[in-house]
Structure 1
Amino acid sequence: MAVYVLSDVHGHLRALDGALAQASPADDDRVYVLGDMVDRGPDPMGVIRLLRGLPNATVLAGNHEQLMLSCVGNPDDRAAWDLWMRNGGTTTAQGLMALVPEAYEHTVSWVRRLPLFDVVTAGGRPWVLVHAGIVDPAPPEGGVWDERSLFSMLLDQRPDDLLWVRSGFWDRPTGLVSEEGPSPVVVAGHTPSTYLPYVTDAMDGPVADDDGRGVMVWVGGDKLDVDCAAAGGHPEGQVGIVRLDDGATFYEPVREGE
């Protein structure tokens, strides 16, 4: 069983479909999506339908799902709606309103149930999966990070940090590095890789390919950014997928007009 991870599709259904076709996960593989399915791109409802239909997919919540849920059922909350619209919520709101009532309720209910984090083991090490990052984890009892202690640490994190943090995560060590076996790596999205130079100088490689498109990049050896700037659309954005077992990557660019 292989483990695939992606994040921040932002409504770009065709690019997501193309990246999944390249990665071609088997029926017994796992696909983890680290939030921000919605907003900005042209077809957020199509992205949700595709991911809900993947039997091997686990989807986490992102800050854009939080923005959506803060407005659903609250038509008079002008501040929440203004924040959502300023962050690209128009296509998502239009897509939701186009659904028949039963599909609308099922979609919103599914999004409400999305978890904020997960922990997996692949390639001989544990991986912390979260939308934005973590902040100042307390040392584990016994001094060793394993799946149990990592879940406990994540339960102690503030939900807003898991969904929104940038500075305070990418620009400092995670605190998870240990001399006892392979250390956990935090895999996150939220911050487009092309934006990382404004947050940190600890990238372990380029943040964009030769065409200027965002690529997945390691930061400080203990963090992996998988947000490939799809939110920005063409020409800098693409959807990227990483296979944690061996580090293989798969990319599908966002096309002009999408």
Structure 2
Amino acid sequence: MAIYVMSDIHGHVRALEEVLDLASPGDDDEVYVLGDMVDRGPAPVDVIRRVRSLPNVHVLMGNHEMMLLDVLLDTGEMDGFTWALNGGFATATGLDVLDRDEYAELIDWMRGLPLFAVAETESRRYILTHAGIDAMEARGYLATAGVDTSEGRGAADATEEQLLDMMSRQLPETLLWTREEFWGQPTGFVGKDGTGPVVVVGHTPSIVLSRYADRMANEGVNEDGRGIVVPVGACDATGGVADRIDIDCSAAAGAPRGRVGLVRLDDGAVWYGTIKDGE
């Protein structure tokens, strides 16, 4: 069984189909989708349907799903104008043509999406969320739980239960929206020996990641200027291992720069679905 992770598809269902065909995750594999299935692209409802059809899929909440729910459930946290400015029109149009039962079931499903997960390969644990974490707060919790991350120890000794409890204490706003605060400093989870959990997120398009992060493994784009997966933070203090990975390959930008990326955590293999003109 392998573990695949992707994020920020933003309504680009054809690119999603392309990357799934290329990677061909099996029925026994797990696929994590870290939110932002909707908005901006032409077919957000079709993206949701395709994602939900995957065997062993785990879907997390993104800030765009939260904006959608805030508007449609009238929570007062987000207004329709702001949602529209963030690409919500395509999603609203797709939802409007659903029959009442499918609409209600979809909204109810989306309301139940979790904000984080922990996945484990044979060699490492991965903390998955949409945007990032408050690393200082997280290390503080681990210290109270008996996991000392100071002096380059990292958090390899943290159990899955401790990591999940740590994430449950993070502010939802941080998990859904953070950028500079997360990318601007190491997590402290990966120790000098290179062991410890790595945080995998979307939300920040790789084509603009250099505004927030240093120690990027690449420039955030390929030779054609298209978005790519970016490991961040590898240095002597982490044993040369990136402690953060950005998997938002800039689908929100559309053509010609945007792509949908899919990463297999077990071996780091990456596939891309390219967004074409008119999509």
**Structure 2 length-normalised TM:** 0.89
CA distance in 2, matches of 1:74, 1:61: 18
Partner of 1:61: 61
Partner of 1:121: 120
Matched, 1:169 2:178: no
Partner of 1:8: 8
After superposition, residues 178-257 of structure 1 pair within 5 angstroms as: 178=191, 182-220=195-233, 221-257=242-278
Matched, 1:80 2:79: yes
CA distance in 2, matches of 1:73, 1:161: 22
RMSD over aligned Cα atoms: 1.6
CA distance in 2, matches of 1:123, 1:232: 35
Structure 1, gaps ≥5 residues long: none
Partner of 1:107: 106
Residue 17 of structure 2 aligns to a residue in which SS? helix
Q: Which amino acid aligns with 1:257?
A: G
Residue 114 of structure 1 aligns to a residue in which SS? coil
Q: Deviations over 1:60-87 (max 9, x none)?
A: 0000000000011339x69611110110
Residue 142 of structure 1 aligns to a residue in which SS? coil
Residue 213 of structure 2 aligns to a residue in which SS? coil
Deviates more, 1:172-181 or 1:10-19: 172-181
Residue 268 of structure 2 aligns to a residue in which SS? coil
Structure 2, gaps ≥5 residues long: 148-156, 234-241
Partner of 2:146: 142
**Structure 1 length-normalised TM:** 0.96
Partner of 2:34: 34
Is contact 2:19-2:272 (8 Å) kept?
A: yes
Percent identity, aligned pairs only, is: 49
CA distance in 1, matches of 2:77, 2:132: 29
* Pair 1:68–1:147, CA change in 2 (3 A): same
- Report the number of matched residues: 257
